[in-house]
Chains A and B, each alone.
Chain A
Amino acid sequence: MTDNDPAQVFRVEAQELLDQIEQALLDLEKSPGDADLIAQVFRAMHTLKGSGAMFGFDALAGFAHACETAFDRVRKGLVKATPKLIASVLAAEDHLRALAEGKNVPEDEGAALLASIEAAMAAGSPAPTAPEPEPEKSWRIRFSLARDALVNGTRPLALLDELRALGPCEIAPLTGDIPNLETLQPTDCHLGWDIHLKTRHPRAAIEEVFIFVGDDAALTIELVPLASAAGHVVSEAASPVAANDKPAAAQAIGYTVRVPAERLDELMNRVGELVIAQSRLKQVVAFSNDANLHSVAEEIERLASELRDSMMNVRMVPISQLFGRFRRLIHDLARDTGKTIDFRTSGETTELDKNVIERLADPLIHLIRNSADHGLETAEERRAAGKPDAGRITLSARQAGTEVVISVSDDGRGVDLNRVRAKAERSGLLAPGAPTSDAEILQLLFAPGFSTAEKVTNLSGRGVGMDVVKRTVESLRGTIDIANRPGSGAEVALRLPLTLAIIDGLLVRIGQGRYVIPLASVEECVELTTDQDQRSRGRSFLTLRGQLVPFIRLRELFATGTVPDKYQKIVVVSTGSERVGLVVDQILGDHQTVIKPLSSFHAGIGTFSGATILGDGGVALILDVPHLVAAGQQQEDRLRAAG
């Protein structure tokens, strides 16, 4: 298994640490001098150095050490965290990333980066002020370590020695947490310490001693008024309060397990098969009179559906994972375009299937780049238009029914429809002078090879992109909407299904074949009487509460060669604002659908987005609703054009 490869374990850890560093640095840019953030960067660098050396990434460890040393000076207040310094540490972080991934990096690159950090520090260092000697104070410090601290290599003695170096100490052990001998684990750390320290050093100096102890240690530092400081440390024998406090604290810390994604996918497949087997069981049991069998079958049905739901939950991850990555992108975009960008995010807690999240990263990067490069105006243009200097890009996510809507919007100039049209006419995508609606012109943005940028920049405008965005989103069974407000911005909204693997479907029969329509897109079912069927020959429209809805006779589209049922049904489906009716012979009921992909022989047909296995072991094809709706709309447009 790959998870046994120590280098791989380190890479995953390094990635996380580097992400932490990056986030903290970007936050630091907004609130320079935030001691917590500085300490966070420092700690992460330190851990990276340690693990790097342990796993044999010597070049990385060396470089991290140099960065850590540099940042230590920021931490001690000798150097200010100027934007220039942050930028060069960010560059160094990229270098670390490359080292962690084992790429071949020229050695002088590291040296150059270190030199730039040095230069930034030299510029940002204030004249060191001699710290004023503080009066001696008395502190009471209590700390206890996590159970596994000793196993993980923490040495309490070293900590106590460091405290002793600060000033005279009285130290007493807290033994209240030591369990009975029969339950004692000799490798666990059950001791706590109560320390009474007199020192001239500030509180920060004491906290610094514990900087590497980690978050699961309990630490309290109190200032003791000197008058009462005559009192000495009491070694408490199993005070009930202290004993009860600690387990609670330990429970509060969330416990997570890292699992390779393949194992999760495999589990998902098993659950999918279980759901299929369960629906077969349900069918078999329907023919039986055995009450016991019925109750067991119901029990299994309940369990299977609960298992499915929890499995879904396991795969759901908050979208903040993805949004976090874009802050760095904005930082770089602002630098490269020279525009000030006010980046806002909302709905980071919205959850989405992890596979969907992974595949969304590139499309969103592209959309954000487009907004920054094409959408936002320069500061002068913005001032002339009466807008604030800083352009705003908003990334938001929210759940709407069984879909998640992720939108990228900006308050820039919006899409210039005339330019899009001119460009499309020049590149032959549109016949000159052809009558087109605004919505159709916006759709041209997604045509392959389309780009309005007059000159190709590094950021966007290479003409590859929007069509790739569209394709990726469609492959995730999602859709894209653009809302254009000329002069005041544009918004691109991606609508995505919550999950890829299982959907609720409506099982229908057309001729001899059975098909599944995703239930989320079904609006209603109505009957198509023979009368209506006869009358509507040739124009295939249905009046639904005063609105004309085009419909498609699937029996004809699929050329089943069967006679229509006497009571045909129309299933009205919609994507966003567009509706179309699908004429089927019979509605069989709802069906939990585990989506199976079609092979390359059938993937290109378009009418079907996949297949599923039914309770009796047969296969039903899943209708691709956006595709059918588009076909229905074309039919409508043709008829409208014909008069």
Chain B
Amino acid sequence: MIEKDEIVWDQDGQIKVLTFDLSGETFALEANMVCEILDIQSETLVPGSAAIAGSVINFRGSVIPVADLHLAFGFDAQSVTQDSRFIVIELEHNNEACVIGLKADKVHEVTTIDHRTTEAAPRIGTRWRQDFIRCLAKRNNDLIVVPNLPRIFNICGHIQAGTQH
């Protein structure tokens, strides 16, 4: 199956991204898929849903799912701090446009990633599933992870019958 998981670089081989923290690692999302950054508000748990999207929130009068990427990358769920935010993104899921809130421990900034500084996820040496990562970008001495959201939601987003929180 062909998935829309390729990064669309501009003609200079660059792309604008929003960087944020999950359990101390820096992650990045294409800036053009981000709608808004929200302060943390109380979530409503949805019994019977997949763990990765286990709750919903009110976003401007519509009810949107909240996804927790911590679980996809094997981190422990983090407690809410002053810096916690929801990043509201728009994404295609099950062939329909879907607005999703992503939990982030801290949101940094919009920055530019250059194609030449990136490399594919190595086969070994990471504790994460290789197909969950589009690429790794080097910046200063830091490593930025660009996650493959459609892939993550396809694998983890299914409702597992019988599993509940």
Interaction A to B: yes
Query: With A557-B47, A605-B49 known to touch, is A596 a contact of B62 (CB < 8 Å)?
Result: yes
- Taking the closest CB of chain A, its distance from the CB of B24, in whole angstroms, is 27
Closest to A620 in B: B44
Quick one: which of B53, B57, B58, B165 contacts A602, CB cutoff 8 A?
A: B53
Quick one: which of B41, B58, B157 contacts A601, CB cutoff 8 A?
A: B157
Interface CB pairs A-B, < 8 A, 16: A557-B47, A599-B64, A600-B93, A601-B53, A601-B153, A602-B46, A602-B49, A602-B65, A604-B159, A606-B48, A608-B46, A611-B56, A611-B63, A612-B63, A613-B63, A618-B44
Interface band, chain B: 20 to 34
Query: With A598-B56, A605-B46, A611-B56 known to touch, is A617 a contact of B164 (CB < 8 Å)?
Result: no
The answer to whether the Cβ of B94 comes within 8 Å of any Cβ in the partner chain is: yes
Closest to B64 in A: A599
- The CA-CA distance from A596 to B61 in the complex, in Å, is 9
- The CA-CA distance from A602 to B47 in the complex, in Å, is 10
Contact with B along A439-464 (1 / 0, CB 8 A): 00000000000000000000000000
- Taking the closest CB of chain A, its distance from the CB of B64, in whole angstroms, is 6
Query: A605 to chain B: which residues have CB within 8 Å?
Result: 46-49, 159
Q: Which residues on B are within 8 Å of A, measured CB to CB? A: 41-42, 44-50, 53, 56-58, 61-65, 67, 93-94, 96, 98-100, 153, 157, 159, 164-165
Which residue of A272, A560, A619 has the most chain B CB atoms within 10 A of its CB atom? A619
- Taking the closest CB of chain B, its distance from the CB of A619, in whole angstroms, is 4
Closest to B93 in A: A600
Closest to A604 in B: B159
- In the complex, the answer to whether A601 meets B93 with C-beta atoms within 8 Å is yes
- The CA-CA distance from A585 to B63 in the complex, in Å, is 24
- Taking the closest CB of chain B, its distance from the CB of A309, in whole angstroms, is 21
Query: A606 to chain B: which residues have CB within 8 Å?
Result: 48
- In the complex, the answer to whether A613 meets B61 with C-beta atoms within 8 Å is yes
Closest to B56 in A: A619
- Taking the closest CB of chain A, its distance from the CB of B31, in whole angstroms, is 22
Quick one: which of B48, B58, B61, B98 contacts A599, CB cutoff 8 A?
A: B98
- In the complex, the answer to whether A596 meets B63 with C-beta atoms within 8 Å is yes
Interface band, chain A: 20 to 34
Closest to A596 in B: B63
Kindly list 13 other residue pairs between chains A and B, CB separation below 8 angstroms, not including A559-B164, A601-B153, A602-B159.
A513-B45, A560-B47, A597-B63, A599-B93, A601-B53, A601-B100, A602-B56, A604-B159, A605-B46, A605-B47, A613-B63, A619-B56, A619-B63
Query: A558 to chain B: which residues have CB within 8 Å?
Result: 47-48, 164
Query: A28 to chain B: which residues have CB within 8 Å?
Result: none
Closest to B41 in A: A617
The answer to whether the Cβ of A607 comes within 8 Å of any Cβ in the partner chain is: yes
Which residue of A273, A557, A558, A601 has the most chain B CB atoms within 10 A of its CB atom? A601
Contact with B along A478-521 (1 / 0, CB 8 A): 00000000000000000000000000000000001110000000
- The CA-CA distance from A5 to B61 in the complex, in Å, is 32
- Taking the closest CB of chain A, its distance from the CB of B162, in whole angstroms, is 10
- In the complex, the answer to whether A621 meets B44 with C-beta atoms within 8 Å is yes
- The CA-CA distance from A589 to B134 in the complex, in Å, is 49
- The CA-CA distance from A350 to B62 in the complex, in Å, is 32
- The CA-CA distance from A612 to B61 in the complex, in Å, is 9
- Taking the closest CB of chain B, its distance from the CB of A558, in whole angstroms, is 4
- Taking the closest CB of chain B, its distance from the CB of A63, in whole angstroms, is 41
- The CA-CA distance from A485 to B94 in the complex, in Å, is 43
- In the complex, the answer to whether A619 meets B57 with C-beta atoms within 8 Å is yes
- The CA-CA distance from A607 to B99 in the complex, in Å, is 22
Counting from the closest, the 7 A-B pairs by CB-CB distance are: A558-B47, A559-B164, A619-B44, A611-B63, A600-B94, A601-B53, A596-B63
